[in-house]
Structure 1
Amino acid sequence: MATGTSRAGETAGQVTAGLEISQWKYLSGEAGDPQMHAILSVRVDGTGSAGGPGGPVLAQVLVMDCSSSMTWPVEKLHAAQQAAVAAIRKLSDGTPFAVVRGSEEAAVVYPETPHMARASAYTRSRAERAVRGTVAGGGTCIGAWLDLSRRLLAQQDAPIGHVLLLTDGKNQHDEHMPLARVLEECAGRFVCDAWGIGDGWDARELLGITRRLHGSASSVRAEAELPGEYEQLMNRLLTKTVPELVISVTAMPGCTVRYLKQVFPAEAELSAEEGTGRFVTRAWGDEVRRYQLCLAADPAGRPRREDLQLAVVAVDVPGGDTVRLPQPQACLVHWTDDPALSRYTDAQVEHFEQHQRLGEAVAAATDAHRRGQHDLAERHLGRAVRLAHAMGAEEQLARLARLVRIENAQGGRVALRPDVAAVDFQHLITASSHSTYGPAPGTGTGSGTAGAAPGDGATVRCPACSHKAPAGARFCPSCGHRFEARS
């Protein structure tokens, strides 16, 4: 594994950004479609609290599902109201905010004017009263909710727009305002986090929204948990003071960028600005995010047995003169004819590909259970347990344990619990969308000379299932195959 590191110089009171690249640089020139995968770790430090001297940083819209299904059990609507109140109480003075009631239409609950209110003791108190007076009735059209949120936020000059959306149901009235079209109009304009409550929501629908709008999807089993979850989310949100951070990928001749996607803390879609290699990410506080970069390279006519530059990665903050930026970093390739080198993969890359396989196993189990194929669902869940155990994904394991009795996590031996309900799979899907950090940068080897022995930072392909495992592993984390002793 080759790991490049670039951290901006630390200065008290100044926001700094850092960039680290982890990759296994050796590729075989004989492969039909050679691809170089790398993990970019991007860090921001020193953001402090929101609402500095330049005015409010955040503009907040709270969307409450008030469809008829929220009337039962009665605790559901009460929890939604309590959660909205908890979020409102966290808003800093001067923060623009609004509360939206969602059914087959969308309407502003507070304020009573066409424009968003500014947070103060008075407006917070009025908003709480309006929230507690909401009643449920009607259907569900999430596209209408997001479209109204977009129009409200478009009136504000706060650099970070955020929508916190709660629903207990599926998007049953999509024909009123198609969600796909609305997401295209909303993309890049605000960040949306979405929560599922009750037993009728669709996790994949929420993920489709949050991945497009650079947020995350979550859920609660017990309604009483929701206000506390909202408070934690708002605490994190109020530290975000960097509206945008751009990752630029400049490919060398003979190389193209296949994709760049966020893989930690949750997966998010990234699209390059037209005609450029610039990918915009949204709303940063003090945090680390990881991105998977895929480059396609053509070995024809390129020298072998030496390091070549495939692309240069840089981090930029538009208009961010106060942010100290890291030095650009290079992604390398080393074309080799030695299969002992080209068969390995970077451990960080493999970690997030395992997360992807975990999500695929959960999705397959969900579909099988819905079709009544419980044995097949059990097999898919067993594979998910193997992967979660191998990665140390404790939250996913805990969620899986609600659906299956885990007899042997390493071997994936499980038994489906008889009382499993469809909503249990929805909770599992949202949990599986949150990835774990993975191997720390610089923990592997591979930056030395050709022929260097790979260490903990490399992976090797399993001969039984073709998935990859750490180079020193005794068992495949995907299928449980026992590896022969390797020198």
Structure 2
Amino acid sequence: MTEFTAAVYQNEFLPAGGTDVHAIVNLSCTGAGQAGAGGGAAGEIIAVDTSGSMGSANMELAKRAAVAAVENIHDGTWFAVVAGNHRAFLAYPRNPGAVGMVQMTPQTRFEAINAIATFRAQGGTAIGSWLNLTRALFDSVPNLPQRHAIILTDGENHNETPAQLDEAINACLGSFQADCRGVGTDWKVSEVRRISQALLGTVDIIPRPEDMPRVFAELVQQSMSRGVADAALRVWTPQGAQVLFCRQVLPQVEDLTGRASQVNPLTVDYPTGSWSDESRDYHVAVRLAARELGQEQLAARVQIVVGEQTMAQGLVKARWSDDDSLTARIDPAVAHYTGQTELADAIQQGLAAKAAGRTDEATTRLGRAVQLAAATGNEEATSRLRKVVDIDDPETGTVRLKASVDKADEMALDTASTKTTRIRG
């Protein structure tokens, strides 16, 4: 049986005239089961770059990766395989009729693997067309509650304008989740990150093409472990209050603020996608009207909702006090994740400045990233930063840009910039 728990970490004390309340809400899920276990079906689509830049060697490895993905999809799951270059092609099922997907059986698995064997590297790259076909395929299966896609590319989106890609991304919002992977170093991290963030997924680099089969198998295994099809973070605030922002801050930073949907005048839902047995942290900031010293108020009620069933809730509180020892404290969890969010921004802005030749700015921002990584105990970020800068003093953020940097290391730092660590202790 699926169970959620909620815990709130905050300093609820505000000084005279104080208005802003910050809280970290930890949500944990157990007993999620597997995809489709909630009584509805699940869907999985594998979209593989078959453009000419893949070449014969990478194309063969991408085929093996697609096969590994298909082999890990559970029987009964609706699925399809898309081949993408400057157009999107439904590689399997062939001649599907009104419903563009089929359910996984030993026979359809065999047929899909045979279809993957026909992939050839040719043509350009138009990722928006791949997204549009993926959305249409999912939409062809009525009442499919859980929808996940893997999208692989090896190059930039040369055969579409940025506006065309944005239009495709926007059309897919809320339709499915997507984990995006780039193989090699000729793709653009910011471009693929736009897709993954909009579709509540992840982005990462596969620097060694021979790792593609393992990565695809792991992604499908993760997808199949998500037994909660779709959940929303529901935030109630009192009359006159304002939600300043709502962010997922663990396991990665995702700003959900602009994704709010109104439930009623005081309540909004933020999408969280599907869940496995896992724990996530959310940073919620609320602005209230200041009250008299000694008064207290419920600042927010944060719930995790599946369908219309409330699974767990946490309460965010506010109390006004003239005791400086209470009001001056910053909750450790709030401080930690504020630093982690700033860390992600510092890495991305530093790398962008480096790419543009703004050396001083890049050094300053990446130095700040080193300082934040050390302060928050993010050892993975520190390790990746060391491949881009020489660190003289992590506490002060004193660094020097390396004269020569492997492009794959730089891209790995960029893709991992939004990954966060839980507060130490």
Same fold (TM over 0.5): yes
- RMSD value, Cα: 2.2
Post-superposition CA distance 1:282-321 (Å, at most 9, x none): 111111111111101110xx2313432212222221165x
**Aligned equivalent of 1:309:** 298
Contact 2:47 2:151 in 1 (8 A): yes
Q: Which moved more, 1:285-294 or 1:308-317?
A: 308-317
**Aligned equivalent of 1:485:** none
**Aligned equivalent of 1:444:** none
Residues 386 and 78 (structure 1), Cα distance of their counterparts in 2 relative to 1, 3 Å cut: farther
Post-superposition CA distance 1:88-130 (Å, at most 9, x none): 1101112111111111211111111232122122222222222
CA distance in structure 2 between the partners assigned to 1:330 and 1:46 by the alignment: 24
Residues 69 and 16 (structure 1), Cα distance of their counterparts in 2 relative to 1, 3 Å cut: same
Q: Are 1:363 and 2:329 matched, yes or no?
A: no
CA drift of 1:345 comes to: 1.9
**Aligned equivalent of 1:292:** 283
Q: Which moved more, 1:363-372 or 1:192-201?
A: 363-372
Post-superposition CA distance 1:316-361 (Å, at most 9, x none): 21165xxx833x4321112234444333322212212211211222
SS of equivalent to 1:402: coil
Amino acid at match of 2:54: M
CA drift of 1:211 comes to: 1.5
CA distance in structure 2 between the partners assigned to 1:126 and 1:387 by the alignment: 50
Contact 1:51 1:92 in 2 (8 A): no
**Aligned equivalent of 1:335:** 320
Q: How does 1:180-259 map to 2 (within 5 A)?
A: 180-259=166-245
CA drift of 1:177 comes to: 7.3
CA drift of 1:262 comes to: 1.4
**Aligned equivalent of 2:58:** 76
CA distance in structure 2 between the partners assigned to 1:387 and 1:51 by the alignment: 40
**Aligned equivalent of 1:37:** 22
**Aligned equivalent of 1:380:** 365
Contact 2:82 2:89 in 1 (8 A): yes
Residues 53 and 314 (structure 1), Cα distance of their counterparts in 2 relative to 1, 3 Å cut: closer
Residues 54 and 254 (structure 1), Cα distance of their counterparts in 2 relative to 1, 3 Å cut: closer
Q: Which runs of 5+ in 2 are unaligned?
A: none
SS of equivalent to 1:201: coil
Contact 2:40 2:145 in 1 (8 A): no
**Aligned equivalent of 1:6:** none
CA drift of 1:165 comes to: 0.6
Contact 2:79 2:101 in 1 (8 A): yes
Contact 2:138 2:147 in 1 (8 A): yes
Q: Are 1:98 and 2:83 matched, yes or no?
A: no
Contact 2:350 2:363 in 1 (8 A): yes
CA drift of 1:36 comes to: 1.1
**Aligned equivalent of 2:105:** 120
Q: Are 1:67 and 2:51 matched, yes or no?
A: yes
SS of equivalent to 2:261: coil
SS of equivalent to 2:254: coil
CA drift of 1:38 comes to: 0.9
CA distance in structure 1 between the partners assigned to 2:304 and 2:352 by the alignment: 40
Q: How does 1:380-459 map to 2 (within 5 A)?
A: 380-439=365-424
**Aligned equivalent of 1:277:** 268
CA drift of 1:375 comes to: 4.7
Residues 63 and 256 (structure 1), Cα distance of their counterparts in 2 relative to 1, 3 Å cut: same
Residues 360 and 247 (structure 1), Cα distance of their counterparts in 2 relative to 1, 3 Å cut: closer
How high is the sequence identity, in percent, across the aligned residues? 31
Amino acid at match of 2:126: C
CA drift of 1:63 comes to: 0.9
CA distance in structure 2 between the partners assigned to 1:251 and 1:177 by the alignment: 36
| Aligned residue among 1, 8, 11 for 1:24 | 11
| Aligned residue among 120, 133, 143 for 1:135 | 120
**Aligned equivalent of 1:484:** none
The number of equivalent residue pairs is 416
CA distance in structure 2 between the partners assigned to 1:366 and 1:87 by the alignment: 33
Q: Which moved more, 1:340-349 or 1:357-366?
A: 340-349
Residues 426 and 29 (structure 1), Cα distance of their counterparts in 2 relative to 1, 3 Å cut: farther
CA drift of 1:420 comes to: 1.1
CA drift of 1:17 comes to: 1.0
Higher alpha-carbon Rg: 1
SS of equivalent to 1:331: strand
Runs of 4+ in 1 over 6 A off after TM superposition: none
CA distance in structure 1 between the partners assigned to 2:255 and 2:348 by the alignment: 19
Contact 1:370 1:422 in 2 (8 A): no
CA distance in structure 2 between the partners assigned to 1:94 and 1:249 by the alignment: 35
CA drift of 1:424 comes to: 3.4
- After TM superposition, the score normalised by the length of structure 1 is 0.80
**Aligned equivalent of 1:144:** 129
Residues 55 and 212 (structure 1), Cα distance of their counterparts in 2 relative to 1, 3 Å cut: closer
Amino acid at match of 2:261: E
SS of equivalent to 1:261: strand
CA distance in structure 2 between the partners assigned to 1:135 and 1:277 by the alignment: 47
| Aligned residue among 44, 68, 86 for 1:86 | 68
